[in-house]
Chains A and B, each alone.
Chain A
Amino acid sequence: MPKRRDILAIVLIVLPWTLLITVWHQSAIAPLLAIRKACHHLVKEIFIIPERLAVHHHRLSDEGAEGRREAGGQDSKEYCASDKDIVEVVRTEYVYTRPPPWSDVLPTIHIITPTYSRPVQKAELTRIANTFLHVPNLHWILIEDSQRRTPLVTSLLRETGLNYTHLNVETPKNFKIRGDTRDPRIPRGTMQRNLALRWLRETFKNNSQPGIVYFADDDNSYSLELFEEMRSTRKVSVWPVAFVGGLRYESPKVNAAGKVYGWKAVFDPHRPFAIDMAGFAINLKLILSKPQAYFKLRGVKGGYQESSLLRELVTLNDLEPKAANCTKILVWHTRTEKPVLVNEGKKGFTDPNMEI
């Protein structure tokens, strides 16, 4: 009897060790084999070092897009047929210009930014990209208000080195500007944000990776602290925003128990959610669990756009106040002046080929 027990004990001790050794060997050998077999062009891309020492890592489009193609097939007009991949560019020349290494632990922050062509577009996108390059585990979803994805934005995104997705959808022209009163206008950026929400729902249908969704306009100013505050969002988190509603800042009202009970705003404080687009973040799980929740396109009064989405997702009680119980300003609703271009004249004085 004792002999059998000893043998059992020895076997139970030895088994895990053999297991470890097997796994270790697998991890060491298999990747090399796989690389040699399957990804010739990937290896080529990693080891070609051009003058600027940039390393490009492209997701193989045929592999990754399988699931996405079924999803995107219905509306191929809205998604571009090719180049839906997430392209990651790793720069090795300037240590400072690459985004921080991807972490296994941090939830991804998906930033949804609608953008449109105007003279300051490249400048705005450049400086907001400089901000995002500091944030770990950031995925930038940039949606152009255009018929086709423009080369300006395409090359800008590629050069930043950020983890991004580039989409586009054009707001119908008669809705872009205030037309006749029978057709109420679609608030700017709505169709683009909705497209991003739909993209997220299609892409993360069967994926339980943790994520946070934030709507960031391209002309606001963000502190880096804000992104770390929003990472712990369980449902919807909120915080103050400066320079909105004609005030120094608008803010949620938080009681002693740390719950939001109202809104410190002058412009219609009785809105269900009297908050700016930049003042809240949503957990990706919540977005996925409520697939019907979108921003309302038509018939939305000014200032009610945020409410049109949030009321389908949470109640006031579920809101999580951040930024030290909503006492600190971590985001400013800055707006950039429209540049005065009087000296361009009717024919355009400057070289139209120069991209600004």
Chain B
Amino acid sequence: MFIIFYYTYIEIGKHLYFSALGTNHRCFQGDSLWGQHCDCAEHDLPKDRAISRLQEELYRLQEKKQPPKSSLSTIFVITPTYARLVQKAELTRLSQTFLHVPQLHWILVEDSPRKTPLVSNFLMKSGLTYTHLNVPTAKERKLQEGDPSWLKPRGVEQRNEGLRWLREDRKTEPGDNGQQGVVYFADDDNTYSLQLFEEMRSTQRVSVWPVGLVGGMKFESPVVEGGKVVRFHTGWRPSRPFPMDMAGFAVSLRLVLANPDACFDGEAPMGFLESSLLKGLVTADELEPKADNCTKVLVWHTRTEKPKMKREEALQVQGLGSDPAVEV
């Protein structure tokens, strides 16, 4: 009788065990709950558990092997931003990309006389390492309502402010370690793949790569021969010293600190903004091509539509606009 009880216990135990496994199981087929026939072959379950255990082992080993954080050079991302309807949405999805990149320091510069609560709160909750700055663009340099986006250069004062802060901040960090890093100018509406940030980490002076959906073309790119940039593939004013987009290059921190006067020139003619900074830093043959010798597109110059607000405006005229306390 006791033997019968013993075996009953064993069977009950088996069922419990396998049902517990069932929820852990990534099979979308069978059901291993009480009394129901499991569609998955039973040997699949212990195999799966072994696989996940082996994976965990690998994670653990890998995490031990992972280089200690301080040995990865920091990427300083300078992003100018300004208040408009889609600002919070843009910053949200940008931060979701940045959260995946180790050793990233986000320098967010608002085009505003004061730091806005929207951006301050957002940065606090983002989980990123950041510096929050602000500098307003002079009125005559600012785009007015209805101006085409290319009419005046945008973000110049903000990027320069980012550079200025960086130079100041690095003075307090003596030694060689404080000089290691890469500076990247990332606009808040572009799209960045995670691989891009790993490509730029090894920048010695200035590295370059293709940018998608810019310059009126599917992509703009430096042309590489024998590991060196020989010319630039672009459909618009290829005679510029550096016919690239802001998202197409990164500068090593060392170079930025060694040239304390290098900054963007707001008076430069249209399309020459990038060149205004780079010409003081490198020559074309010193450029380091990344992204597989500039054959892959890892960043896209996407732009977000301005949302249609006709009904909102109509309501506001009647005094029935949406609750301004709800932050959008």
Contacts and interface: CB of A to CB of B under 8 A. Distances in A.
Nearest to A103: B24
B216 A340 contact: yes
Interface in B32-80: 33, 36, 39-41, 43-44, 46-47, 49-51, 53-55, 58-59, 62-63, 66
A123 B13 contact: no
Interface stretch (B85-93, B129-137, B175-183): B85-93
Interface residues of B, number: 88
Interface stretch (A73-81, A186-194, A238-246, A308-316): A238-246
Nearest to B38: A206
A86 B26 contact: yes
Given A22-B10, A96-B102, A130 B217 contact: no
A249 B322 contact: yes
A173 interface: no
A356 B218 contact: yes
Given A46-B51, A131-B93, A242-B328, A343 B297 contact: no
A124 B302 CA distance: 9
A42 interface: yes
B297 A354 contact: yes
How extensive is the interface on chain A, given as a class?
A: 35 or more
Contacts, number: 255
Nearest to A35: B50
A356 B46 contact: no
B86 A96 contact: no
A261 interface: no
Contacts of A345: 235
B308 A350 contact: no
Interface stretch (B152-160, B250-258, B310-318): B310-318
Interface stretch (A23-31, A175-183, A286-294): A23-31
A93 B61 CA distance: 11
A158 B300 CA distance: 20
Contacts of A337: 302-305
Contacts of B55: 46, 55, 57, 90
Interface in A162-182: 163
A10 B246 CA distance: 78
A334 B89 CA distance: 8
A92 B103 CA distance: 18
A344 B235 contact: yes
Contacts of A97: 100, 194
B230 interface: no
Contacts of A16: 9
Given A15-B9, A246-B311, A247-B322, A343 B96 contact: no
Interface in A252-268: 264, 266-267
Contacts of A11: 2
B7 to A, nearest CB: 10
Nearest to B214: A339
Given A127-B93, A243-B86, 15 more contacts: A32-B50, A34-B47, A57-B55, A96-B100, A119-B218, A203-B28, A207-B28, A221-B92, A243-B89, A243-B307, A267-B311, A337-B302, A337-B305, A350-B233, A356-B218
Interface of A: 11, 15-16, 18-20, 22-23, 26-27, 30-32, 34-35, 37-39, 42, 46, 53, 55, 57, 59, 63-64, 66-68, 86, 88, 90, 92-97, 102, 104, 119-120, 122-124, 126-127, 130-131, 133-134, 163, 203-204, 206-209, 221-224, 240, 242-243, 245-249, 264, 266-267, 327-329, 332-337, 339-345, 348-350, 354-356
8 contacts: A32-B50, A38-B47, A67-B39, A119-B218, A120-B213, A247-B322, A264-B322, A344-B235
